[in-house]
Amino acid sequence: MSKNSNSLLAFIVGAGIGTALGVLFAPDSGSNTRDKLSYRLSKYKKELEDLIEELVEGKELHLNEAKSEGKRVINEAKSKAENLLQDVNKLIDQINKDN
């Protein structure tokens, strides 16, 4: 994970813990507190699931981009090698003709 992703995840977790502690220590009845806490935790759970999904998709995207770039570099190197081989063959043919 990147530094920004770790920071965002730490922020979300910290916000969730802070909210939970705030709700627990707020002057309200137990059932209301549990309902609020349950609602907020489910909300944070959904946000965290979305974040994880984005990170996984981003990782797959980078992997696909890396594969594409690797294939491009290989094809380019192959083309240059073929051109070099053709040049070498021409030089060999010229040397053979001169002899």
**Domain limits at 39?**
3-98
Average pLDDT of the chain, as a whole number: 76
Q: Residue 83 and residue 75: Cα distance in Å, rounded?
A: 12
Number of structural domains found in the chain? 1
Question: Does the pLDDT of residue 57 top 60, yes or no?
Answer: yes
Question: Does the pLDDT of residue 9 top 80, yes or no?
Answer: no
User: With contact defined as beta carbons under 8 Å apart, do 35 and 89 qualify?
Assistant: no
68-99: pLDDT as tens digits: 888 888 888 888 888 888 888 788 877 777 65
User: With contact defined as beta carbons under 8 Å apart, do 69 and 15 qualify?
Assistant: no
Q: Residue 18 and residue 44: Cα distance in Å, rounded?
A: 12
Q: What tokens were used for 98?
A: 């001169």
